[in-house]
Amino acid sequence: MIFSSLTFLFAYLPVTLAVYFLTPLRWRNWVLLAVSLFFYGWGEPVYILIMFLSILIDYTHGMLVEKYRSDDRKARWFVAQSVIFNLLLLGFFKYWDFLAANLSLIPGVRVPQLGIPLPIGISFFTFQTMSYTIDVYRQDAPVQRNMVKFGTFVTMFPQLIAGPIVQYKTVAAALEHRVNTTEDFARGAGRFTVGLAKKVLLANSIGALWEECLAAQAAGTLTAVSGWLGLLAFGFQIYFDFSGYSDMAIGLGYMFGFRFDENFRYPYLASSVSEFWRRWHMSLTGWFRDYLYIPLGGNRHGTAKTLRNLFLVWFCTGFWHGASWNFVLWGMYFFLWFLLERYLLRGVLDRMPAMVKHLYTLVVVFVGWGIFAMEDLGVCGRYLAACFGGAPVWSAADGFRLRSYAVTFLVLILASTTLGRDAWEKAPEKARRVLMPVLMFLGLVVCTAYLVDGSYNPFLYFRF
């Protein structure tokens, strides 16, 4: 079940909200746990068992870390057990076939591929539960002694499938006691509607152009112009797809009394690659900073160890996204740009005009999206070669694509800036109160019409 589906919008969510708010406060964690497990099990019921196992392991290890806090060696060992379990769980389901296929390339080595479907959201909930035991050890978060409350944290359906990655310490207080207000509910409903519109009206619409350009590549008719149009299309698609999901998750959190951290901050306004990653998927960037980069020493122990730490972070960032070499290459691509900006380009970038810095950043990022999108490295290489002069510059089909998608691109560009937000915030409060329900209703009607009429509606990040 996905947020941008008629089943979710007009069956699951209304029933869930009705049951939740009709339930006394002290039982609402039970309700949220039950409806979240139902949500997760809608598509693959068998994997609820994995969810139960993950909850049990990390709940008990959090308790053990707290129990043996006075014995640091034992406490560290229980943290290590939790981390190892989560990494093994993620590694088996997500990476076994990848490792088996690559190991089997070695003469005399045969490792069977199992073909087990990837549990949806496993990359997200394993990172969440793993950070819990680490935070309990660091005394950054209180231990949770109630398994229902801990299970609610792990399975909470708004952010279960594709984030943002929620750390336990950010919702610990709300799990114990939360106040649901009409203001928060209205704010959440508005945020959810914005996210739905991003996904259905923007991401889905431009995704068709990316598929068209991939088809042109396969047919040998891709030009440089259509190659860049395709990269732009995918870059906008993944941004509005994933930020739209994050908006919906954050909005649902408000509706149920939780505050989730922001996950995007207008990343395409960045003026450097480093700044882009401070604005994009911030919960993942923050996770690797807090639980890998800083524990390894960060930049505190000289250049060589800083380079090692950055390499490991970017290798893991790429590999986290998928069991394919293109994701590893994508991580290494940004690792190299980080090094260039950190050690060679810092002074150059400072002297560049703002527009040039912005254009440079977009070119680097959108080329990176090409590496990210195409798992076949041969196809990826030929596609990017076409973008940089390895194909004719222009064809009649490009003119048709430009005319067909010109308005869509204009809307995407404007929507990726702060113009809409700034205009809304400058409007009188009375006007906003009147317009908000009207815009929400119109947005829901238009999105519903698109969902009834359309067929392309996946969330790109579900496969991670």
Name the residue among 413, 395, 394, 416 with its Cα closest to residue 405.
Answer: 413
Residues 6+ apart with CB under 8 A from 66: 136, 143
Residue 64 vs residues 4, 50, 60, 70, 149: alpha-carbon distances, Å: 40, 21, 6, 11, 17
Contacts 24+ apart (CB under 8 A), 173-181: 174/257, 174/258, 174/259, 175/29, 175/144, 175/149, 176/149, 178/256, 178/257, 178/258, 179/257, 180/21, 180/256, 180/257
Look up residue 5 and give its DSSP letter.
S
Direct distance between the N- and C-terminal alpha carbons of the chain, in angstroms, rounded to an integer? 16
Q: DSSP secondary structure string, 285-320?
A: HHHHIIIIITTTTTTSS-HHHHHHHHHHHHHHHHHH
- In the set 61, 177, 301, 321, the catalytic residue is 321
At 275, give phi and psi (nearest 5°).
-65, -35
Assess whether 301 carries a catalytic annotation.
no
Quote the distance between the C-alpha of residue 40 and its chain's center: 17
What's the confidence (pLDDT) of residue 299? Answer: 86
Plot region of 115 (φ>0 → left; ψ -120 to 50 → alpha; else → beta) = left
Q: What is the pLDDT of residue 216?
A: 92
Check: CB of residue 287 under 8 Å from CB of residue 126: no
Asked if 326 and 370 touch (Cβ cutoff 8 Å), the reply is no
The owner of tokens 């070499």 is 325
pLDDT tens digits for 208-224? 999 999 999 999 899 99
What would the two tokens of residue 217 be?
């590549």
Within 10 angstroms of residue 119's Cβ, the number of other Cβ atoms is: 22
* Rounded Cα distance, 159 and 148, in Å: 17
- Which residues of the chain have a pLDDT value below 70? 455-464
* 434-444: b (≥16 Cβ within 10 Å) or e: eebeebbeebb
CB 61 within 8 A of CB 77: no
Residue with tokens 């122990």: 301
pLDDT digits (tens, 9 = 90+) for 123-154: 888 999 999 999 999 999 999 999 999 999 99
Task: Tell me how far apart the alpha carbons of residues 310 and 8 are, in angstroms, rounded to a whole number.
Answer: 40
At 67 the three-state DSSP class reads helix
Q: What share of the chain is helix, strand, coil (3-state, %, to 5)?
A: 75, 0, 25
Contacts of 65-71 spanning 24+ positions with Cβ under 8 A = 65/133, 65/136, 65/137, 65/143, 66/136, 66/143
The pLDDT value recorded for residue 118 is: 85
Task: Name the residue among 30, 253, 263 with its Cα closest to residue 124.
Answer: 263
Q: What is the 3-state secondary structure (H, E, C) of 393-449?
A: CCCHHHHHHHHHHHHHHHHHHHHCCCHHHHHHHHCCHHHHHHHHHHHHHHHHHHHHH
Alpha carbons 149 and 169: distance in angstroms, whole number: 13
Q: What are the sequence ranges of the domains in the chain?
A: 6-178, 184-463
Gap between the Cα atoms of 315 and 151, Å rounded: 31
Q: How far is it, in rounded angstroms, from Cα 255 to Cα 123?
A: 25
The tokens for 234 are 């995918």
Q: Find out whether 317 and 284 touch, Cβ atoms under 8 Å.
A: yes
Q: Specify the residue for token string 């972070």.
A: 313
Cβ atoms within 10 A of the Cβ of 393, count?
A: 12
